[in-house]
Chain A
Amino acid sequence: MSTVGAGNELLVVEDLKKHFPVTRGIVFQKEIATVKAVDGVSFTLREGETLGIVGESGCGKSTLVRCILKLLEPTGGRVVFQGQDITGLSRREMRPLRRNMMMVFQDPYASLNARKRVGFIIGEALELHGIGTPAERKRRVQELLEVVGLNPEHYNRFPHEFSGGQRQRIGVARALAVNPKLIFCDEPVSALDVSVQAQILNLLLDLNEQIGLACLFITHDLAVVRQVSERVYVMHEGRIVEAGPTAEVLAAPREEYTRTLIASVPQSDPAWLAPANT
């Protein structure tokens, strides 16, 4: 399973743990239990690969991403990004690395600042990382708008002027602004309509093919994971319970939990679709 040593790993996560203490008492806080949100997760993500992580709410998949990005301090384990161990890095040391790992959030209605113009939202990362002159940055933002299928003239609009699907495109453009190696997508389509969902999934596929963007795709929907990723990890109660090529895992799940997940996806029953009238 592990491909450590193959040479093209972008991200290696080893035995990552995040435990939250449960405390009682106001002044003298006593630890009475721990919640093991992430409990020994290991995986490898290769360059240009899209990896899916599937699980229900509360299985720890979002906490996992936060730990990898060091938005939360992991309790144990190691995160190696582009050959560099980033586990012990300070926030300041992390900052130059962040431009290579960007994030697309779940809710396109809540993740865009309603009081900023789209051009600013997309270009902010460029500014923070001190990339280019203002004129160059503006050009880059307009280019990005085009890449994600929006009109570059909409540079000066506010987020509320866009539909849900368009907002999620803005979210993707923002993540792409600084040319990251890897983007983390945390349920990027679960707030969207089926038809819009197809547009965003296709966009991610295109980006993966065209610019070799690697993606860690988190979702609770197995059908979506099948669409975007070659390999999938099934997460349950903080642990990886099953891993493998997506088609294989879906066709012949070994774990009971994976079977439950698969059985839960509403499908237009193939027996109906089969031409019964012939």
Chain B
Amino acid sequence: MSEPLLDVRDLRTEFSTDDGIVRAVDGVSFKVEPGQVLGIVGESGSGKSVTCLTVMGLNDPKFAVSSGEVLFRGEDLLKVSKSRLREVRGNEIAMIFQDPMTSLNPVHKIGRQLAEAVVLHEDVSRKQAYARARELLKAVGIPRAERRIDDYPHQFSGGMRQRVMIAMALINNPDLIIADEPTTALDVTTQAQILALLKRLQEDFGSAVIMITHDLGVVAEVADDVIVMYAARIVERGAVRSIFNEPRHPYTWGLMGSLPRLDVNVERLYQIPGQPPSLLNPPVGCRFHPRCAFAMPVCREKDPRLEATSGDPAHEEACHLDGETKSREAAALVATLTAGAVV
């Protein structure tokens, strides 16, 4: 196998707060190959955003301490200088933020904001930068791009602003795009357009994408591989088909069961009981055990490790349950989800 584009090893990020130390990311490892789309799924507070902010070096150094390795083409981004990090950010790794309403500068024209990203990283004239901006606005499907380049963000709708954000992320042809809930703030129809656009551009530009979301449906549409995070740790990972065909962690079962579906009649949605744990003092043993219907005595004591138990070496989960029970429960869940499917 070729060298991975991004290789995150045993990443830990701690924040010091008034109440104590919060371990927002606790021993997370994953790889992203060139051109791959990786989905990271989890509830609010599961550490998925902090993981990516740490990769980008965007945590406030006053409060955050990170350890582990973030190897981007073999270079550890946790150790490089600030100026090197600035070179990487926006150029080789770009980020799309959740809220397109607040992540554009309201007092500058769209064109200027896009051109700025080019000028910062490349030795080009203002004119060339604007030409590139225009080209990208067209690529993301903004009608009358020549004229709209002189508009302010408030003159764009939410979906259009998210397109501008995507244009900005792509403008320097990055190798990796980190998209943090890029469609959560948008309507379903707009979301569908943006997801299709991201997928098409990802194929055209050949960038790898890390897609952070709490919506399994979004992951199913765009990702090649999936990581499920819970309470600062990875609880399950695998190829997207494998995760949807045979989810093997009780938390993933809960997430899949709680998704309202268009094509299937469900009397009542499954709800995961309780609340996600506080990361100030997470539960001992498996962090999911207080909410898990399958919890055994061992779950309260021993922390499960990520292991492949299904025969597919790429599909791993962190759970003490025996492989047989997992297969049985997964099959039962998938059966209820597919029963009554219209298609």
A contacts, CB < 8 Å to B: 56-57, 163-166, 193-199, 201-202, 205, 220-224, 226-227, 247, 250-251, 260-277
Interface assignment of B338: CB less than 8 Å from any CB of chain A: yes
- Given known contacts A198-B271, A222-B262, A271-B343, what 5 new A-B pairs fall within 8 Å (CB)? A56-B190, A193-B43, A194-B259, A266-B191, A276-B245
Choice from A56, A165, A222, A270 contacting B341 with Cβ under 8 Å: A270
Q: How far is the CA of A275 from the CA of B158 in the complex (A)?
A: 39
Interface range, B side? 35 or more
Q: How far is the CA of A266 from the CA of B217 in the complex (A)?
A: 5
B52 to chain A, nearest CB (A): 17
Residue of A56, A198, A202 contacting most chain B CB atoms (<10 Å): A198
By the criterion CB–CB under 8 Å, are B220 and A197 in contact? no
B261 proximity list for chain A (CB < 8 A): 223, 226, 267
By the criterion CB–CB under 8 Å, are B158 and A194 in contact? no
Choice from A199, A250, A273 contacting B245 with Cβ under 8 Å: A273
B245 proximity list for chain A (CB < 8 A): 272-273, 275-277
* Known contacts A272-B245, A273-B338; A197 and B262 CB within 8 A of each other: no
Interface assignment of B248: CB less than 8 Å from any CB of chain A: no
- Residue-wise interface mask of B (180-197) relative to A, using a CB-CB cutoff of 8 A (1 in contact, 0 not): 000000011111100100
B195 proximity list for chain A (CB < 8 A): 266
By the criterion CB–CB under 8 Å, are B214 and A194 in contact? yes
By the criterion CB–CB under 8 Å, are B187 and A57 in contact? yes
* Known contacts A223-B262, A262-B262; A202 and B187 CB within 8 A of each other: no
Q: How far is the CA of A199 from the CA of B337 in the complex (A)?
A: 18
B341 proximity list for chain A (CB < 8 A): 270, 273-274
B235 to chain A, nearest CB (A): 14
* Known contacts A199-B271, A224-B260, A226-B262; A268 and B191 CB within 8 A of each other: no
B contacts, CB < 8 Å to A: 43-44, 158, 187-192, 195, 214-218, 220-221, 241, 244-245, 254-263, 265-266, 268-272, 275, 331, 334-335, 337-338, 341-343
Q: How far is the CA of A262 from the CA of B342 in the complex (A)?
A: 13
Residue of A193, A220, A247, A261 contacting most chain B CB atoms (<10 Å): A193
* Known contacts A201-B269, A227-B260, A271-B343; A195 and B254 CB within 8 A of each other: yes
By the criterion CB–CB under 8 Å, are B269 and A227 in contact? yes
B191 proximity list for chain A (CB < 8 A): 264, 266
A268 proximity list for chain B (CB < 8 A): 216-217, 220, 244, 256, 259, 337
A197 proximity list for chain B (CB < 8 A): 258, 260
Choice from A193, A262, A274 contacting B338 with Cβ under 8 Å: A274
Choice from B158, B272, B342 contacting A57 with Cβ under 8 Å: B158
B272 proximity list for chain A (CB < 8 A): 195, 198
By the criterion CB–CB under 8 Å, are A264 and B44 in contact? no
* Known contacts A57-B187, A272-B244, A273-B341; A264 and B192 CB within 8 A of each other: yes
Choice from B216, B221, B258, B262 contacting A198 with Cβ under 8 Å: B258
A44 to chain B, nearest CB (A): 25
Q: How far is the CA of A221 from the CA of B187 in the complex (A)?
A: 8
Choice from B188, B271, B335, B342 contacting A202 with Cβ under 8 Å: B271
* Known contacts A266-B192, A270-B338, A277-B245; A198 and B343 CB within 8 A of each other: no
* Known contacts A226-B260, A270-B338; A193 and B214 CB within 8 A of each other: yes
* Known contacts A268-B220, A269-B220, A273-B334; A198 and B265 CB within 8 A of each other: no
Choice from B158, B255, B342 contacting A251 with Cβ under 8 Å: B342
Could you list some 20 contacts between A and B, CB below 8 A? A194-B258, A195-B255, A198-B257, A198-B260, A198-B270, A198-B271, A202-B271, A222-B262, A223-B260, A251-B342, A265-B188, A265-B262, A266-B220, A267-B263, A270-B341, A273-B245, A273-B338, A275-B245, A275-B331, A275-B334
